Amino acid sequence: MLSTVKQVVTEHEHQPSRLLEILRCLQTSTNYLAEETIIQVAKELDVPISQVYGVATFYSMYSTKPRGKYVIRFCESAPCHIEGAAEVLAAIQGILGVDVDETTDNGKFSLELTSCLGVCGVAPAMMINSTVYGNLTPKKVQEVLMTLE
């Protein structure tokens, strides 16, 4: 992984201003940022570890703990709530057998909450990796998750 960090940082010209993109690139293979990765990025960019860690923990798109192959970000905003998000979230949890901020035993799915996906017109909604699904019902969620299995 250390050679990968060096390569990615070099591709981004050792610019601390490109930290978000550097972390995105490094997270793609493992779906999280390991402690060693964060430390190495800080060394390569010559910035404090706390700066890299702060960015990695501030943005919900990054994770410092292992996550599943498919990261489900379920919207908990007011429009989704009004349109039945609680029932849909319960269905996801029942299908996967996990609570929020957990990963399935097989490492396939992680379930997270997000404050907004920006698709209120199709509430309730979720995003799996980079694909958004809206107008969700418990039945539709089951159909979507089955296509990923």
Nearest Cα to Cα of residue 111 among 66, 85, 74: 74
Each residue's pLDDT tens digit, 66-107: 999 999 999 999 999 999 999 999 999 999 999 999 999 999
User: Does residue 64 form part of some domain?
Assistant: no
38 and 81 share one domain? no
| 65: in domain | no
Residues 76 and 128 in one domain: yes
Structure tokens at 95: 């299908």
Task: State the total domains in the chain.
Answer: 2
Domain that holds residue 31: 2-58
pTM: 0.80
Look at residue 75 and give its three-state secondary structure.
strand
Instruction: Express each pLDDT in 30-41 by its tens digit.
Output: 889 999 999 999
Within-domain flag for 43: yes
